[in-house]
Amino acid sequence: MLSPTPLSLFCAVLLCFPLAVIITITSPTTTVPGGTGDDSIPNLVPPSVSHQRFSSKPLNLPLHDEDSLLRVASRVNSKLPPGSLKKIAFLYLTMSPLPFAPLWEVYLNQTPKNLFNVYLHADPSYPYHPPFSGVFAHRVIPSKPALRFTPTLASAARRLLAHALLHDRSNYMFVLLSANCIPIHSFNFTYETLTRSKKSFIEILKNEVGSFDRWAARGQDAMLPVVKLEDFRIGSQFWSLTRKHARLVVGDEMVWARFNQPCVVWDTCYPEENYFPTLLHMRDPRGVVPVTLTHVDWNGSFDGHPRMYVESEITRQLISRLRNDKPRYGDDGTKGSDSPITQGRHFPFLFARKFSPESVLPLLKIASDFIFKD
């Protein structure tokens, strides 16, 4: 057999080089959890079971590439699979442990698992010990710190929506909740209320006191020309969005770019209460019921926080009062002709906040035979 000459070897290398380049470019990149890069986020579940975070394999996108995550999520199918049951996606946004996890366990463990999904955004800088368990085990999405008076709380909600959209095409209604939220009706009651609606439930308030200060918190002209003062809206941080509106939120770039700026006046900076109602008012005002279904009492509020119910206040009478309270309807962009108010239709509160951690025990005592029996 003839020995290869230097010239023949050089030609062979030239022929193979393009193929090597193609293989290198198209090979998938593996992201190592707990890496030491600047954008690495600590894994909030044991590494040995981290692959069980979702029941189906999530999209392999690096956390720092959030633009790609949101863009891909905005392109998922807007319709549920034929013949599938509608699911509620419970989106928990927390910067601390979940004091009412035992109550949610009772609420969700009595429910068929094919009717809901749980997603948890947990601040990675907080030491969660013991780790989340039960219905919250392995449900933590890749998370980033979320702080008041910054766009990070709204960004966390967008991140929750993106992961829920990518995870399960059967997710129909997306409900944002805090660590201090509790359910005040049975799951069946809540499920029927939400899945029968073709509209989102989000508070949209027009010409509220302080609207200008909130609009100008990033600077006098920072919101222009995209968000004019007359388009600016205020609302509760907690909402229930349809699949259509979840896709709208994660796909929005223009309005989000105005809200995703640091504020120069921090004490009037509440992007999580302004971005979502403003966006939906601007893009699809007729597609919403302008009300939040999460009850809150602002009487006696302090430092921007609503009243907190303490352990001694937890009674059946309190839950009944919260259920029977009338939600405040805002601006739905319908000129009044087909608004829920003119039709005489009032939706009930399904959740409530804010409760002290110690109130979980009296709540559990009345959960099975009262709160979840309606």
Domain range for 145 is 66-366
pLDDT at 222 over 60: yes
pLDDT at 336 over 60: no
SS3 241: strand
pLDDT at 272 over 90: yes
Helix axes of 66-74 and 243-251: crossing angle, nearest 10 degrees: 140
Q: Which runs of E-coded beta strand occur in the chain?
A: 87-94, 116-122, 171-178, 182-183, 200-201, 240-242, 288-289, 294-295, 351-352
In a domain, 58, yes or no: no
What pLDDT was estimated at residue 359? 97
What pLDDT was estimated at residue 311? 96
Q: Which residue has the tokens 């068929």?
A: 112
Could you tell me if 71 and 158 are in contact, meaning their C-beta atoms sit under 8 angstroms apart? no
What pLDDT was estimated at residue 300? 67
In a domain, 60, yes or no: no
What pLDDT was estimated at residue 334? 60
In a domain, 341, yes or no: yes
In a domain, 168, yes or no: yes
Reported as a pLDDT band with limits 50, 70 and 90, residue 299 is confident
In a domain, 317, yes or no: yes
pLDDT at 21 over 50: no
More confident residue, 159 or 128: 159
35 vs 28, 31, 63, 121, 225, CA distance in Å?
Answer: 17, 8, 12, 20, 41
What pLDDT was estimated at residue 317? 97
Reported as a pLDDT band with limits 50, 70 and 90, residue 304 is low
pLDDT at 205 over 70: yes
What pLDDT was estimated at residue 26? 35
What pLDDT was estimated at residue 96? 87
More confident residue, 341 or 160: 160
Q: What backbone phi and psi angles, to 5 degrees, belong to 187? A: -60, -40
Which amino acid is present at 3? S
pLDDT at 350 over 90: yes
Could you tell me if 274 and 234 are in contact, meaning their C-beta atoms sit under 8 angstroms apart? yes
Q: Which of 6-10, 194-198, 358-362 is least confident? A: 6-10
- What is the C-alpha to C-alpha distance for residues 221 and 209, in angstroms, rounded to an integer? 20
What pLDDT was estimated at residue 127? 84
In a domain, 22, yes or no: no
pLDDT at 332 over 70: no
DSSP output for 134-155:
GGGTT-BPS-----TTSTHHHH
Give the tens place of pLDDT for each residue, 49-101: 333 333 334 445 555 688 999 999 999 998 999 999 999 999 999 988 999 99
Reported as a pLDDT band with limits 50, 70 and 90, residue 136 is very high
Helix axes of 243-251 and 152-167: crossing angle, nearest 10 degrees: 130
More confident residue, 338 or 229: 229
Percent of the chain with pLDDT over 90: 69
pLDDT at 325 over 60: yes
pTM reported for the whole predicted model = 0.82
Percent of the chain with pLDDT over 70: 78
What domain count does the chain have? 1
In a domain, 142, yes or no: yes
- The CATH number of residue 117's host domain is 3.90.550
Give the tens place of pLDDT for each residue, 162-189: 999 999 999 999 999 999 999 999 999 9
In a domain, 161, yes or no: yes
- What mean pLDDT do residues 275-279 have? 98
